[in-house]
Amino acid sequence: MKQSDPIVARRAPKGFGPEANRDSLCQPRGGFESPRGASSHPDGGGRTKVRRLVLLSRKGGTGKTTLAVNLAVAAERAGLSVAMADLDLQGSASAWGRARRSETLEIAPANGGTLFPLANAFEREGRQLLVMDTPAGGDAITPSAIATADLAVLVARPGYFDLAALAPAVQAVKAAGKPGVIVLNQAPSRRGGVESPVIARAIDAARQLGLPIAPVGLRARVAFQESLWRGQGVMEFEPRGPAAAEIARLWQDVAERLFGAAATPAEDRRTA
């Protein structure tokens, strides 16, 4: 693979090749097979543990909510029972949920005091994944969300200010002893087939923070915005589009981190 795709070039997921989507930061693979086996790991007493995913960034507007709802949709499409906790008083995830009117995906408002009991209640309901959307800054709330989480997804645009603001969030995740992964979002498209230098710089900066970088970055794509108006994820809005391929690949990576190796990539016929 050539230098035109630095995320992949350096992390080289299996099977990536120049035939991949030309404007993707990843190898668009199929989708994700339901990690039912992994998700039904009982914690001793037979109760299924709800895996808890938190989306974080101190900087506003990086795409926490966009990723939160899209990962929730991807997880549902993979067959998981999913709930969301909206820890942001802006209520963006809740607003999307009202547009969605889903009978399956519950989105509950929460704060630092209610999050833990809420997560337990979802676990008693048999939910398999809880996606926690947090506010920017969020000093009062974010520590509870990190403490509750099994995995933190730290979201940054590939710009100087976002990367600078990532360091304290990484520190908070590390200090809590939680695993985390950095996702670059809203990356510019290649121009004339050439990757913007901001991407390589962002990857280098993110590397120095000492958390893994997801093997897919998300481009700035209209589908990510349009889909929100309909209460959809991009996998529903444009199943064959590049945004859907990016989310499928990101979900695959996140699911492997949350559920382990049993969560293996496979053809997702719903997106094929």
CA distance 3 to 200: 9
Q: Please name the residues in contact with 139: beta carbons below 8 A apart, sequence gap of 6 or more.
A: none
Give the interface segment with ligand ATP, choosing from 38-46, 106-114, 144-152, 218-226 (CB under 6 A): 218-226
**Which of 34, 57, 92, 186 touches Mg ion by CB under 5 A?**
92
The answer to whether 63 contacts ligand ATP (rule: CB under 6 A) is: yes
- State which residue, 182 or 228, has the beta carbon closest to ligand ATP: 228
- State which residue, 92 or 144, has the beta carbon closest to Mg ion: 92
The answer to whether 96 contacts ligand ATP (rule: CB under 6 A) is: no
- State which residue, 144 or 186, has the beta carbon closest to ligand ATP: 186
CA distance 20 to 24: 8
**Number of Cβ atoms within 10 Å of the Cβ of 106:** 16
The answer to whether 64 contacts ligand ATP (rule: CB under 6 A) is: yes
The answer to whether 224 contacts ligand ATP (rule: CB under 6 A) is: yes
CA distance 196 to 235: 26
Give the closest residue to 221 by CA, choosing from 251, 197, 192, 189: 189
Give the closest residue to 55 by CA, choosing from 40, 70, 44: 70
CA distance 213 to 209: 10
CA distance 88 to 208: 29
Binding partner of residue 117 among ligand ATP, Mg ion, none, CB cut-off 5 to 8 Å per kind: none
**Number of Cβ atoms within 10 Å of the Cβ of 23:** 12
The answer to whether 58 contacts ligand ATP (rule: CB under 6 A) is: no
The answer to whether 179 contacts ligand ATP (rule: CB under 6 A) is: no
The answer to whether 27 contacts Mg ion (rule: CB under 5 A) is: no
The answer to whether 66 contacts ligand ATP (rule: CB under 6 A) is: yes
Residue 109, Cβ density class (10 Å: 0-12 exposed, 13-18 middle, ≥19 buried) = middle
The answer to whether 148 contacts Mg ion (rule: CB under 5 A) is: no
Report how far apart, in Å, the C-alpha atoms of 53 and of each of 139, 146, 158 are. Answer: 18, 9, 22
Give the interface segment with Mg ion, choosing from 17-25, 69-77, 84-92, 237-245 (CB under 5 A): 84-92
Q: Which of residues 106-145 bind ligand ATP (CB under 6 A)?
A: 135-136
Binding partner of residue 27 among ligand ATP, Mg ion, none, CB cut-off 5 to 8 Å per kind: none
**Which of 107, 183, 199, 228 touches ligand ATP by CB under 6 A?**
228
**Which of 62, 65, 227, 232 touches Mg ion by CB under 5 A?**
65
Query: In the numeric block, which tokens belong to residue 127?
Result: 């939910």
**Which of 3, 171, 208, 225 touches ligand ATP by CB under 6 A?**
225
Which positions touch ligand ATP (CB under 6 A)? 57, 60-66, 88, 90, 92, 135-136, 185-186, 218, 220-221, 224-225, 228
